[in-house]
């Protein structure tokens, strides 16, 4: 079974690449973030023609998540139970479902913007709600994973130059503590480090030639419980998909499992 996560940075803009990637990669379940479309604009039919069912949480603004599965899509939960509001709205940042033998979440953690911004406090509150929501499944015997764009680099090695992030979000002790608290529910980062290259980044800004210069961050993560982690046979960042015209600023993270 192949499960992946990918922040596509607009599913409508990226649709041709997404469809081509699904066909060539043989992915069974894809967690999508930053759909940037409303549910009514989501390309459900195009994906169904490839054999994928869709579970979507999107409102047409900057966020939006989805689960695409060709191995079943049951017991769908749209949204983060107990999640906080921002500006009076619960943003579409989580969707979960049972896909074949595994329970899977697709999450798009708030960015945080700046450390003294209200969005940063909201980010930490969102993490706490996520921890509470997944704790039961994380400690269970069924394969379970939370995949997505976490907007946190877990360690100093997960950014190209730590000095460039002095005083910025994504690397603060509070954000990393929130990640640690999530792991303490029974989850493990299943993507090994190092991979086939020294810095397995997953995101590179479009500006200042960040991708050619490999000035990136590892913020797209796969956290699985023991049953999920023990089934992993391979894991990698599909860095090639970040190349070329019309690419997202994130690369897919792919995990193979013997389930």
Residue numbering of the annotated binding site for Mg(2+): 7, 34, 149, 151, 249-250
- CA–CA gap between residue 59 and residue 131 (Å, rounded): 24
Pairing between β-strand 2-7 and β-strand 216-217 as defined by DSSP bridges: unpaired
- DSSP symbols for 31-75: EEE---SBGGGS-HHHHHHTT-EEEEE-BSSS--EEEEESS--EE
> How far is it, in rounded angstroms, from Cα 175 to Cα 120?
9
Name the helix (H) or strand (E) containing 232.
Answer: strand 232-237
Is cis: bond before 173, omega within 30 of 0? no
* CB contact at 8 A, 179 and 158: no
214 close to 134: Cβ distance less than 8 angstroms: no
Residues in contact with 3: Cβ distance below 8 Å, sequence separation at least 6, in sequence order = 27, 28, 29, 30, 31, 99, 102, 104, 145, 147, 222, 254, 255, 257
Altogether, the residues listed in the chain come to a count of 259
- Cα gap 86→90, rounded to integer Å: 6
Longest dimension (CA), the chain: 47
Enzyme catalytic residues: 108, 149, 250
Known binding residues are 7, 34, 149, 151, 249-250
């Amino acid at each position: 079974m192949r499960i992946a996560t990918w922040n596509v940075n607009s599913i409508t803009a990226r649709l041709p690449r997404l469809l081509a990637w699904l066909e060539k990669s043989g992915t069974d379940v894809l967690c999508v973030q930053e759909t940037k479309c409303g549910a009514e604009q989501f390309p459900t039919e195009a994906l169904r023609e490839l054999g994928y069912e869709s579970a979507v949480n999107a409102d047409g603004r900057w966020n939006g998540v989805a689960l695409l599965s060709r191995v079943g899509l049951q017991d769908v939960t749209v949204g983060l139970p107990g999640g906080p509001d921002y500006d009076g709205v619960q943003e579409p940042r989580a969707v979960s479902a049972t896909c074949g033998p595994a329970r899977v979440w697709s999450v798009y953690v708030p960015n945080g913007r700046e450390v003294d911004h209200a969005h940063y406090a909201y980010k930490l509150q969102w993490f706490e709600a996520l921890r509470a929501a997944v704790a039961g499944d994380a400690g269970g015997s069924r394969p379970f994973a939370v995949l997505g764009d976490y907007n946190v680099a877990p360690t100093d090695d997960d950014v190209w130059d730590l000095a460039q992030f002095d005083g910025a979000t994504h690397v603060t002790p509070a954000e990393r503590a929130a990640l640690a608290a999530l792991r303490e529910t029974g989850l493990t980062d299943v993507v090994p480090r190092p991979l086939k290259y020294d810095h397995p980044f997953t995101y590179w800004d479009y500006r200042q030639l960040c991708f050619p210069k490999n000035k990136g961050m590892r913020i797209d993560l796969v956290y699985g419980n023991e049953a999920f982690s023990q089934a992993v046979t391979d894991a990698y960042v599909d860095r090639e998909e970040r190349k070329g015209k019309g690419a997202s600023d994130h690369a897919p993270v792919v995990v193979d499992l013997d389930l």
